[in-house]
Chain A
Amino acid sequence: MTDDEKIIGYIENGIVIDHIPQGRVWQIVELLHLNDPMRYEGGIFSLGDGYESRKVGKKGILKVEGVSLRKNDIDLVALVAKEATISEIENGRIKQKYDAEIPEVLDGVVNCPNLNCITNDETQRVMSKIYSGDDLFMCHYCRSEFGEDKIKFLGGK
């Protein structure tokens, strides 16, 4: 058992998201909707922030138990924490460990920054669809290209 596990608790089955830059743990909780009781009834998440890390300076850790997250959803973590590592835990052991990678297609996650885009017309209720490229993101509908700095998550965060 590592120090981190001692601090925020051992889990039997679930995922551990490590190396989250300090201050961004809650952003990930919200991005994955872990605090939405309707979606993740019965799930438990525990988090800690401010640990020393050689990789990212100070870091946060998030542990999620009792909910099943799809790989595509977990990968969204990379949008706010590129350096994050994901460990899948099964029966108390690490089953798989990988780096979060931004999914190629983001459906209904990120807003298109073009205010005249059909996806920003609330009356139309068209879900955003954004492609992630090497340096830029691109809206499927209006083809606006934009950098990381313009990312706005749906719901305005």
Chain B
Amino acid sequence: MLRISELVNSDASLISRRCWTDQAVYDLEVRGIFGRAWLFLGHESQIRRAGDFVQAYMCETPIILSRGADLRIHANINSCSHRGLPVCRADHGNTRRFICPYHNWSYTVEGELSTIPQENALAGKPDKSKLGLKRVPRLESWRGLIFGSFDPDIIPLEEYLGDMRFYLDAFLGRFPAGIEFMGAPHRWVLDANWKLPVENQLGDVNHGAFLHSAIIPREAQDLIEELGYSVVTRPGHGATFRLMPVDAPVDEVAWGMEGMGGMFGGAEVQEYLRDVQANAAERVGPLRARMKGLTYGVYPNLSFLWSNASFKVSHPRGPGKVEYWSWAVVPADAPDAVKRVLRTNYSSFFGPGGILEQEDSEVWVQQFKGSNIDFADDRPYFYGLGLGEEAPHPQLPGLVSVTANEFYARQFFSRWRDELQAVESGV
């Protein structure tokens, strides 16, 4: 029997291959991490009107996220109380009832059981108030981002996010009406472990110069690394970004300008982006106005790619499979034509057809193969780059370092280890 303490050493500079492949480890992850964390479900812009719904997942558990007739947000497990079928099959939509195909039990959009067709023929009437869909016990949102948790006693979402809010707000707070998600997520399935996409988006900026060198010129990457910071606000939560010089021209700082849409999408788009940047200091303060983000991660499996405007979730499907979701995000107040251009900042390079992300998808799959081989268990992966070189910073919350320092990954794995050990020992 594997013990978690043998998989990650004390400073998390050595990570066992079994962390990525072992079924027993995965079972602990499901209970010890996904059963206890705040998990990202969606954005409020996806369910604006009463009756709107979208599908979501909490680990492998299918969730319906909906806006009730009361305009409140609801999250329920998508599984009928009668025999367990999913009661909702569409990716998104608007409805008053979810009707189960098998025997047509129907549920309200809030998740209450509404009718049991068979009961008319029977004397006994089941208590419907106890037979609704199973509710996600905790549901909270912050700045439009909706999270759920299976742990009824979890700390409030804002406390969980902690100082990560400082960095998230540098983006979310930049736009007068916040952001919105465009359309259904792109979802694709890879033979990889869920943690590698997470690690990649948590702080692995420096692979750009190598894995992506067919597309990203060395000089561009050098500039990124020169101005780049990597921070960890709490193990598992982190951000990387550039802090642009105070006198940098607006076009070099403004979010969106460096994407294909921003560069080639026309004058209206560029004017919009310059306008946002012109008001950024007022909205998020002078320091964060100079921030030009790269990657973000919120423990355990939410990522945000600032430079290519997308939110991503890495949904586990067992140790060796992941369903990766990503959405294009755009400023909510932008004209429709501008939104349609800005979404290409994401899709040009990322997503299942992305010129850059096809490379990432490939290495995530190859890493899982490498983790699975025999006769290499005595060679854990080396996570020691930059060990101990991170430090607090006078202006930036969290531990701060250069982007080459892999402390973001060590911090992730020390939290991961501690949480799995807690469930392993029955805490």
**A, B in one complex:** no
Give residues in A with beta carbon < 8 Å to B.
none
